[in-house]
Amino acid sequence: MTGKIVWILGAGFSQSLGAPLLRELFSQAQLDRVLGRYGNVFNSVVDLESLRSITRLYSAGAYEIGHAGAVQTQWRHAEQFLERLDIAADNGIERQRLALFCDAINQHEHETNRYGKDLFGDMLGLYDSDCFRTVHLLALKLLAAECCAFLEDANPDYEIWSPYRRWAELLTPQDTVLTFNYDRVPDILSAFGKIHIPVPSELLAPQVGQRTTHHAASNATVLKLHGCVTWIDEGAEQGPPKIVRAATLDQFRGGGVANVAALHCERKAQLAIATPGPTKQRRVDRIESTTPLTGDAEAGLNWLWQSAQAAIERADAIVVLGYSLPPTDAYTRAWLLRHIKTGVSNIKNGFDGAHRSLPIHIVLGPDIDSPPIFRLASLFENIRGTQVRRARLWVEDFLSAFDRDELAARA
Protein backbone atom coordinates (compact mmCIF):
# COMPACT_ATOMS: atom_id res chain seq x y z
CA MET A 1 0.00 0.00 0.00
CA THR A 2 1.39 3.43 -0.89
CA GLY A 3 -1.51 5.83 -0.33
CA LYS A 4 -1.84 9.57 -0.48
CA ILE A 5 1.01 11.10 1.51
CA VAL A 6 1.24 14.76 2.52
CA TRP A 7 4.78 15.95 3.24
CA ILE A 8 5.17 19.11 5.34
CA LEU A 9 8.55 20.82 5.03
CA GLY A 10 10.14 23.40 7.32
CA ALA A 11 13.56 25.03 7.53
CA GLY A 12 15.07 21.86 8.98
CA PHE A 13 14.36 20.06 5.71
CA SER A 14 17.13 21.94 3.91
CA GLN A 15 19.46 22.35 6.88
CA SER A 16 22.00 19.73 5.81
CA LEU A 17 22.26 21.51 2.44
CA GLY A 18 23.32 24.71 4.17
CA ALA A 19 20.00 26.47 4.65
CA PRO A 20 19.80 28.72 7.73
CA LEU A 21 17.44 27.75 10.52
CA LEU A 22 14.96 30.21 11.98
CA ARG A 23 17.28 31.08 14.88
CA GLU A 24 20.19 31.79 12.48
CA LEU A 25 18.45 34.36 10.28
CA PHE A 26 19.43 38.04 10.43
CA SER A 27 22.74 37.23 12.13
CA GLN A 28 25.98 39.00 11.28
CA ALA A 29 27.27 35.74 9.80
CA GLN A 30 24.28 35.52 7.45
CA LEU A 31 24.65 39.17 6.46
CA ASP A 32 28.32 38.62 5.61
CA ARG A 33 27.34 35.58 3.54
CA VAL A 34 24.66 37.54 1.68
CA LEU A 35 26.92 40.50 0.94
CA GLY A 36 29.55 38.10 -0.33
CA ARG A 37 27.02 36.64 -2.77
CA TYR A 38 24.81 39.59 -3.63
CA GLY A 39 26.79 42.69 -2.69
CA ASN A 40 26.58 44.07 -6.22
CA VAL A 41 22.82 43.45 -6.38
CA PHE A 42 22.15 45.12 -3.06
CA ASN A 43 24.43 48.04 -3.90
CA SER A 44 22.17 48.81 -6.85
CA VAL A 45 18.82 48.48 -5.06
CA VAL A 46 19.26 49.27 -1.34
CA ASP A 47 21.50 51.16 1.05
CA LEU A 48 23.89 48.62 2.61
CA GLU A 49 23.94 50.57 5.86
CA SER A 50 20.17 49.99 6.11
CA LEU A 51 20.74 46.24 5.78
CA ARG A 52 23.25 46.39 8.62
CA SER A 53 20.64 48.27 10.63
CA ILE A 54 18.21 45.37 10.16
CA THR A 55 20.78 42.96 11.62
CA ARG A 56 21.60 45.32 14.49
CA LEU A 57 17.92 45.83 15.35
CA TYR A 58 17.15 42.12 15.24
CA SER A 59 20.17 41.15 17.36
CA ALA A 60 19.46 43.81 19.99
CA GLY A 61 15.86 42.66 20.36
CA ALA A 62 16.65 38.95 20.33
CA TYR A 63 19.57 38.95 22.74
CA GLU A 64 18.69 42.01 24.85
CA ILE A 65 20.76 45.12 25.45
CA GLY A 66 21.66 46.14 28.95
CA HIS A 67 20.49 49.70 28.39
CA ALA A 68 17.00 48.87 27.16
CA GLY A 69 15.53 48.75 30.66
CA ALA A 70 12.08 47.22 30.86
CA VAL A 71 11.94 46.70 27.07
CA GLN A 72 14.49 43.85 27.07
CA THR A 73 13.82 40.95 24.71
CA GLN A 74 11.44 41.93 21.89
CA TRP A 75 11.24 38.74 19.80
CA ARG A 76 12.20 35.08 20.08
CA HIS A 77 13.20 34.51 16.46
CA ALA A 78 13.19 35.96 12.96
CA GLU A 79 9.54 35.34 12.10
CA GLN A 80 8.34 37.10 15.25
CA PHE A 81 10.67 40.00 14.37
CA LEU A 82 9.16 40.25 10.89
CA GLU A 83 5.65 40.11 12.33
CA ARG A 84 6.41 43.02 14.65
CA LEU A 85 7.70 45.10 11.74
CA ASP A 86 4.58 44.25 9.73
CA ILE A 87 2.31 45.25 12.61
CA ALA A 88 4.24 48.50 13.10
CA ALA A 89 3.41 49.54 9.54
CA ASP A 90 -0.31 49.37 10.43
CA ASN A 91 -0.40 50.20 14.14
CA GLY A 92 0.68 53.52 15.64
CA ILE A 93 1.27 52.15 19.15
CA GLU A 94 3.54 49.40 17.83
CA ARG A 95 5.38 51.95 15.67
CA GLN A 96 6.12 54.07 18.71
CA ARG A 97 7.28 51.07 20.74
CA LEU A 98 9.76 50.00 18.07
CA ALA A 99 10.97 53.54 17.42
CA LEU A 100 11.64 54.01 21.15
CA PHE A 101 13.46 50.69 21.21
CA CYS A 102 15.63 51.86 18.32
CA ASP A 103 16.41 55.04 20.27
CA ALA A 104 17.46 52.89 23.24
CA ILE A 105 19.73 50.83 20.99
CA ASN A 106 21.33 53.97 19.53
CA GLN A 107 21.95 55.39 22.98
CA HIS A 108 23.45 52.13 24.23
CA GLU A 109 25.71 51.76 21.19
CA HIS A 110 26.94 55.36 21.43
CA GLU A 111 27.71 55.00 25.12
CA THR A 112 29.65 51.79 24.56
CA ASN A 113 31.35 53.05 21.38
CA ARG A 114 29.95 50.01 19.66
CA TYR A 115 28.66 51.66 16.51
CA GLY A 116 29.02 55.18 15.22
CA LYS A 117 25.82 55.52 13.18
CA ASP A 118 22.18 55.56 14.26
CA LEU A 119 19.88 52.78 13.10
CA PHE A 120 18.39 53.69 9.70
CA GLY A 121 19.78 57.23 9.94
CA ASP A 122 17.09 59.78 10.85
CA MET A 123 14.26 57.81 9.23
CA LEU A 124 12.81 56.28 12.41
CA GLY A 125 12.45 59.67 14.06
CA LEU A 126 9.42 60.24 11.83
CA TYR A 127 7.36 57.54 13.61
CA ASP A 128 5.27 57.09 10.46
CA SER A 129 3.89 54.04 8.69
CA ASP A 130 5.87 54.63 5.49
CA CYS A 131 9.12 54.39 7.38
CA PHE A 132 8.22 51.01 8.90
CA ARG A 133 6.90 49.73 5.58
CA THR A 134 10.34 50.51 4.18
CA VAL A 135 12.07 48.78 7.10
CA HIS A 136 9.80 45.74 6.70
CA LEU A 137 10.52 45.60 2.96
CA LEU A 138 14.27 45.75 3.63
CA ALA A 139 13.97 42.93 6.17
CA LEU A 140 11.99 40.80 3.71
CA LYS A 141 14.63 41.37 1.02
CA LEU A 142 17.37 40.36 3.43
CA LEU A 143 15.36 37.26 4.38
CA ALA A 144 14.99 36.36 0.71
CA ALA A 145 18.72 36.79 0.14
CA GLU A 146 19.58 34.59 3.11
CA CYS A 147 17.25 31.90 1.73
CA CYS A 148 18.89 32.17 -1.72
CA ALA A 149 22.57 32.39 -0.87
CA PHE A 150 23.14 28.78 0.21
CA LEU A 151 21.93 27.51 -3.19
CA GLU A 152 24.21 29.66 -5.32
CA ASP A 153 26.54 27.31 -7.22
CA ALA A 154 24.77 24.31 -5.63
CA ASN A 155 25.48 21.01 -7.38
CA PRO A 156 22.69 18.47 -6.76
CA ASP A 157 24.95 15.70 -8.09
CA TYR A 158 27.10 15.98 -4.95
CA GLU A 159 26.79 13.28 -2.28
CA ILE A 160 25.18 15.66 0.21
CA TRP A 161 22.14 15.83 -2.08
CA SER A 162 21.73 12.04 -2.42
CA PRO A 163 19.01 11.63 0.29
CA TYR A 164 17.03 14.43 -1.34
CA ARG A 165 17.40 12.94 -4.82
CA ARG A 166 16.11 9.60 -3.47
CA TRP A 167 13.11 11.31 -1.91
CA ALA A 168 12.30 13.17 -5.14
CA GLU A 169 12.54 9.96 -7.16
CA LEU A 170 10.15 8.15 -4.78
CA LEU A 171 7.44 10.80 -4.86
CA THR A 172 4.29 9.68 -6.67
CA PRO A 173 1.31 11.48 -8.25
CA GLN A 174 -0.62 10.78 -5.03
CA ASP A 175 1.83 12.87 -3.01
CA THR A 176 1.42 16.51 -2.08
CA VAL A 177 4.33 18.46 -0.61
CA LEU A 178 3.50 21.50 1.53
CA THR A 179 6.55 23.68 2.12
CA PHE A 180 6.80 26.73 4.35
CA ASN A 181 10.26 27.51 3.00
CA TYR A 182 10.98 30.29 0.50
CA ASP A 183 13.95 28.60 -1.16
CA ARG A 184 14.43 26.79 -4.49
CA VAL A 185 15.31 23.30 -3.17
CA PRO A 186 12.13 21.69 -4.62
CA ASP A 187 12.79 23.42 -7.96
CA ILE A 188 16.30 21.94 -8.09
CA LEU A 189 14.99 18.49 -7.13
CA SER A 190 12.39 18.59 -9.91
CA ALA A 191 15.20 17.49 -12.25
CA PHE A 192 15.33 14.15 -10.40
CA GLY A 193 11.65 13.44 -9.84
CA LYS A 194 8.30 14.11 -11.45
CA ILE A 195 7.43 17.23 -9.49
CA HIS A 196 4.95 19.97 -10.37
CA ILE A 197 5.37 23.31 -8.55
CA PRO A 198 2.42 25.52 -9.51
CA VAL A 199 2.24 29.25 -8.97
CA PRO A 200 -1.23 30.56 -8.03
CA SER A 201 -1.89 31.85 -11.55
CA GLU A 202 -1.70 28.24 -12.80
CA LEU A 203 -4.30 26.88 -10.38
CA LEU A 204 -8.04 26.41 -10.55
CA ALA A 205 -10.22 26.51 -7.48
CA PRO A 206 -9.77 23.08 -5.87
CA GLN A 207 -12.54 20.99 -4.39
CA VAL A 208 -11.91 18.47 -1.63
CA GLY A 209 -10.30 15.39 -3.11
CA GLN A 210 -9.66 16.91 -6.54
CA ARG A 211 -6.45 17.80 -8.32
CA THR A 212 -6.11 21.08 -10.18
CA THR A 213 -6.50 20.80 -13.94
CA HIS A 214 -2.91 21.94 -14.43
CA HIS A 215 -1.56 18.99 -12.44
CA ALA A 216 -0.14 16.35 -14.75
CA ALA A 217 -1.23 12.82 -13.83
CA SER A 218 2.35 11.65 -13.49
CA ASN A 219 3.56 14.41 -11.11
CA ALA A 220 3.64 15.01 -7.38
CA THR A 221 2.52 18.52 -6.42
CA VAL A 222 4.64 20.92 -4.38
CA LEU A 223 2.71 23.80 -2.83
CA LYS A 224 4.84 26.71 -1.60
CA LEU A 225 2.42 28.06 0.98
CA HIS A 226 4.64 30.96 1.99
CA GLY A 227 5.53 31.83 -1.58
CA CYS A 228 8.99 31.83 -3.14
CA VAL A 229 11.92 34.15 -3.77
CA THR A 230 11.52 33.56 -7.52
CA TRP A 231 7.87 34.64 -7.67
CA ILE A 232 6.50 38.14 -8.24
CA ASP A 233 3.04 39.56 -7.55
CA GLU A 234 1.99 41.48 -10.66
CA GLY A 235 -1.34 42.52 -9.19
CA ALA A 236 -2.27 46.15 -8.72
CA GLU A 237 -1.38 47.80 -5.39
CA GLN A 238 -4.98 47.74 -4.16
CA GLY A 239 -6.31 45.15 -6.59
CA PRO A 240 -6.35 41.35 -6.66
CA PRO A 241 -3.01 39.51 -6.54
CA LYS A 242 -1.52 37.86 -9.59
CA ILE A 243 1.49 35.77 -8.60
CA VAL A 244 3.66 34.59 -11.48
CA ARG A 245 7.17 33.21 -12.00
CA ALA A 246 9.73 35.98 -12.33
CA ALA A 247 11.35 34.03 -15.16
CA THR A 248 8.27 34.77 -17.29
CA LEU A 249 8.75 38.54 -16.96
CA ASP A 250 11.07 40.36 -19.35
CA GLN A 251 12.57 42.66 -16.70
CA PHE A 252 13.78 39.65 -14.70
CA ARG A 253 14.45 37.15 -17.46
CA GLY A 254 16.40 39.65 -19.51
CA GLY A 255 18.51 40.72 -16.55
CA GLY A 256 19.27 37.16 -15.53
CA VAL A 257 18.08 37.78 -11.98
CA ALA A 258 14.95 35.59 -11.84
CA ASN A 259 16.44 33.45 -9.05
CA VAL A 260 16.80 36.50 -6.82
CA ALA A 261 13.75 38.40 -8.06
CA ALA A 262 12.63 39.31 -4.53
CA LEU A 263 15.73 41.49 -4.11
CA HIS A 264 14.59 43.72 -6.98
CA CYS A 265 11.07 44.44 -5.71
CA GLU A 266 10.46 48.13 -5.14
CA ARG A 267 7.21 47.65 -3.21
CA LYS A 268 6.23 45.18 -0.51
CA ALA A 269 3.14 44.28 -2.54
CA GLN A 270 5.39 42.86 -5.29
CA LEU A 271 7.01 40.33 -2.98
CA ALA A 272 5.38 36.93 -3.21
CA ILE A 273 6.61 35.69 0.16
CA ALA A 274 4.37 35.58 3.21
CA THR A 275 5.84 35.79 6.70
CA PRO A 276 3.62 35.76 9.82
CA GLY A 277 1.74 39.01 10.30
CA PRO A 278 -1.20 41.03 8.98
CA THR A 279 0.10 40.99 5.40
CA LYS A 280 0.23 37.19 5.30
CA GLN A 281 -3.23 36.85 6.76
CA ARG A 282 -4.66 39.23 4.17
CA ARG A 283 -2.92 37.29 1.39
CA VAL A 284 -4.14 33.89 2.57
CA ASP A 285 -7.63 34.92 3.65
CA ARG A 286 -8.64 36.49 0.34
CA ILE A 287 -11.04 33.81 -0.87
CA GLU A 288 -13.65 35.74 -2.81
CA SER A 289 -14.84 33.06 -5.18
CA THR A 290 -14.88 29.30 -5.66
CA THR A 291 -15.00 29.60 -9.43
CA PRO A 292 -12.00 28.73 -11.62
CA LEU A 293 -9.31 31.34 -12.10
CA THR A 294 -10.04 33.21 -15.30
CA GLY A 295 -9.36 36.69 -16.57
CA ASP A 296 -8.84 39.09 -13.67
CA ALA A 297 -9.79 36.62 -10.93
CA GLU A 298 -7.50 36.45 -7.90
CA ALA A 299 -4.28 34.48 -8.27
CA GLY A 300 -2.84 34.80 -4.78
CA LEU A 301 -1.39 32.44 -2.20
CA ASN A 302 -4.89 31.64 -0.98
CA TRP A 303 -5.32 29.21 -3.86
CA LEU A 304 -2.27 27.23 -2.76
CA TRP A 305 -3.70 26.99 0.75
CA GLN A 306 -7.02 25.80 -0.67
CA SER A 307 -5.23 23.04 -2.58
CA ALA A 308 -3.25 22.14 0.54
CA GLN A 309 -6.46 21.91 2.54
CA ALA A 310 -7.89 19.43 0.04
CA ALA A 311 -4.74 17.30 0.23
CA ILE A 312 -4.63 17.20 4.05
CA GLU A 313 -8.28 16.24 4.30
CA ARG A 314 -7.76 13.21 2.02
CA ALA A 315 -4.32 12.12 3.28
CA ASP A 316 -3.54 8.52 4.19
CA ALA A 317 -0.42 9.68 6.04
CA ILE A 318 1.32 12.94 6.95
CA VAL A 319 5.09 13.31 7.26
CA VAL A 320 6.53 16.40 8.96
CA LEU A 321 10.13 17.06 7.94
CA GLY A 322 12.10 19.73 9.78
CA TYR A 323 9.02 21.78 10.67
CA SER A 324 8.23 22.59 14.31
CA LEU A 325 5.04 24.63 13.75
CA PRO A 326 6.51 27.73 15.47
CA PRO A 327 4.41 28.95 18.42
CA THR A 328 4.34 32.46 16.93
CA ASP A 329 2.63 31.29 13.73
CA ALA A 330 -0.85 31.06 15.21
CA TYR A 331 -2.59 31.22 11.83
CA THR A 332 -0.81 28.16 10.42
CA ARG A 333 -1.19 26.21 13.66
CA ALA A 334 -4.97 26.68 13.76
CA TRP A 335 -5.30 26.02 10.02
CA LEU A 336 -3.24 22.82 10.03
CA LEU A 337 -4.85 21.29 13.14
CA ARG A 338 -8.34 22.12 11.86
CA HIS A 339 -7.86 20.35 8.54
CA ILE A 340 -6.08 17.36 10.06
CA LYS A 341 -9.10 16.98 12.32
CA THR A 342 -11.38 17.11 9.28
CA GLY A 343 -9.21 14.51 7.56
CA VAL A 344 -9.47 12.17 10.53
CA SER A 345 -13.24 12.65 10.48
CA ASN A 346 -13.31 11.81 6.77
CA ILE A 347 -11.44 8.57 7.46
CA LYS A 348 -13.86 7.65 10.25
CA ASN A 349 -16.86 8.43 8.08
CA GLY A 350 -15.44 6.08 5.50
CA PHE A 351 -14.45 7.67 2.21
CA ASP A 352 -13.29 4.12 1.49
CA GLY A 353 -15.52 2.27 3.96
CA ALA A 354 -12.67 1.65 6.41
CA HIS A 355 -12.25 2.81 10.01
CA ARG A 356 -8.61 3.66 10.59
CA SER A 357 -6.33 6.14 12.28
CA LEU A 358 -4.21 8.75 10.51
CA PRO A 359 -0.44 8.15 10.82
CA ILE A 360 1.58 11.35 11.41
CA HIS A 361 5.38 11.03 11.31
CA ILE A 362 7.51 13.72 12.98
CA VAL A 363 11.14 14.04 11.84
CA LEU A 364 12.96 16.77 13.76
CA GLY A 365 16.06 15.00 15.08
CA PRO A 366 17.07 12.05 17.30
CA ASP A 367 16.08 13.66 20.63
CA ILE A 368 12.40 12.81 20.44
CA ASP A 369 11.75 14.11 23.97
CA SER A 370 13.09 17.60 23.21
CA PRO A 371 10.55 20.41 23.85
CA PRO A 372 9.88 21.20 20.13
CA ILE A 373 9.21 17.55 19.23
CA PHE A 374 7.24 16.83 22.40
CA ARG A 375 5.10 19.95 21.83
CA LEU A 376 4.39 19.09 18.17
CA ALA A 377 3.54 15.48 19.02
CA SER A 378 1.18 16.65 21.77
CA LEU A 379 -0.63 19.00 19.38
CA PHE A 380 -1.26 16.16 16.95
CA GLU A 381 -2.13 13.61 19.67
CA ASN A 382 -4.84 15.94 20.94
CA ILE A 383 -6.72 15.12 17.73
CA ARG A 384 -8.52 11.85 18.37
CA GLY A 385 -7.88 9.37 15.59
CA THR A 386 -4.26 10.26 14.88
CA GLN A 387 -1.33 7.90 15.33
CA VAL A 388 1.77 9.99 16.01
CA ARG A 389 5.20 8.49 15.41
CA ARG A 390 8.42 10.30 16.32
CA ALA A 391 11.45 9.24 14.29
CA ARG A 392 14.85 9.32 16.05
CA LEU A 393 16.47 10.68 12.91
CA TRP A 394 17.63 13.83 11.21
CA VAL A 395 15.78 14.68 8.01
CA GLU A 396 18.62 13.48 5.75
CA ASP A 397 18.70 10.15 7.65
CA PHE A 398 14.98 9.68 7.21
CA LEU A 399 15.10 10.50 3.50
CA SER A 400 17.81 7.87 3.07
CA ALA A 401 15.84 5.11 4.79
CA PHE A 402 12.06 5.62 4.63
CA ASP A 403 9.73 3.01 3.14
CA ARG A 404 6.61 4.39 1.48
CA ASP A 405 4.45 1.40 2.36
CA GLU A 406 5.31 1.69 6.03
CA LEU A 407 4.46 5.40 6.13
CA ALA A 408 0.78 4.83 5.39
CA ALA A 409 0.50 1.55 7.34
CA ARG A 410 -1.85 1.79 10.31
CA ALA A 411 -1.76 -0.23 13.49
User: Is the same domain home to 34 and 58?
Assistant: yes
> Mean pLDDT across the chain, nearest whole number?
83
Top-confidence residue, 57 or 64 = 57
User: Is the same domain home to 202 and 348?
Assistant: yes
Mean pLDDT (whole number) for 123-147: 83
Distance CA 222, CA 227 (A): 11
Q: Is the pLDDT of residue 354 over 90?
A: no
User: Is the same domain home to 282 and 325?
Assistant: yes
The domain containing residue 343 runs over which residues?
5-19+156-226+274-407
Answer yes or no: is 231 within a domain.
Answer: no
Answer yes or no: is 56 within a domain.
Answer: yes
User: Is the same domain home to 187 and 144?
Assistant: no
Q: Where is the domain boundary, 94, 129, 149?
A: 149
pLDDT at 291: 40
Instruction: Check residue 360 and report its DSSP letter.
Output: E
User: Is the same domain home to 175 and 122?
Assistant: no
pLDDT at 64: 58
pTM score, whole prediction: 0.88
Mean pLDDT (whole number) for 317-337: 92
User: Is the same domain home to 114 and 57?
Assistant: yes
Answer yes or no: is 265 within a domain.
Answer: no
pLDDT at 285: 61
User: Is the same domain home to 323 and 192?
Assistant: yes
Q: Where is the domain boundary, 149, 167, 190?
A: 149
Answer yes or no: is 106 within a domain.
Answer: yes
Q: Where is the domain boundary, 120, 149, 178?
A: 149
Answer yes or no: is 134 within a domain.
Answer: yes
User: Is the same domain home to 332 and 187?
Assistant: yes
Q: Is the pLDDT of residue 329 over 70?
A: yes
pLDDT at 161: 97
The total number of structural domains in the chain stands at: 2
Distance CA 87, CA 328 (A): 14
Type of residue numbered 382: N
User: Is the same domain home to 162 and 294?
Assistant: yes
Answer yes or no: is 210 within a domain.
Answer: yes
Distance CA 377, CA 324 (A): 10
pLDDT of 293-309, one tens digit each? 333 345 678 889 989 99
User: Is the same domain home to 171 and 83?
Assistant: no
Answer yes or no: is 92 within a domain.
Answer: yes
User: Is the same domain home to 343 and 208?
Assistant: yes
Listed residue (286, 136, 121, 118) closest to 200, CA to CA: 286
**151 to each of 186, 193, 260, how far by Cα in Å?**
11, 19, 11
Answer yes or no: is 193 within a domain.
Answer: yes
Q: CB-based contacts of 7: which residues, under 8 Å, 6+ apart?
A: 175, 176, 177, 178, 318, 319, 321
User: Is the same domain home to 136 and 167?
Assistant: no
List phi, psi (to 5°) of 362. -110, 125
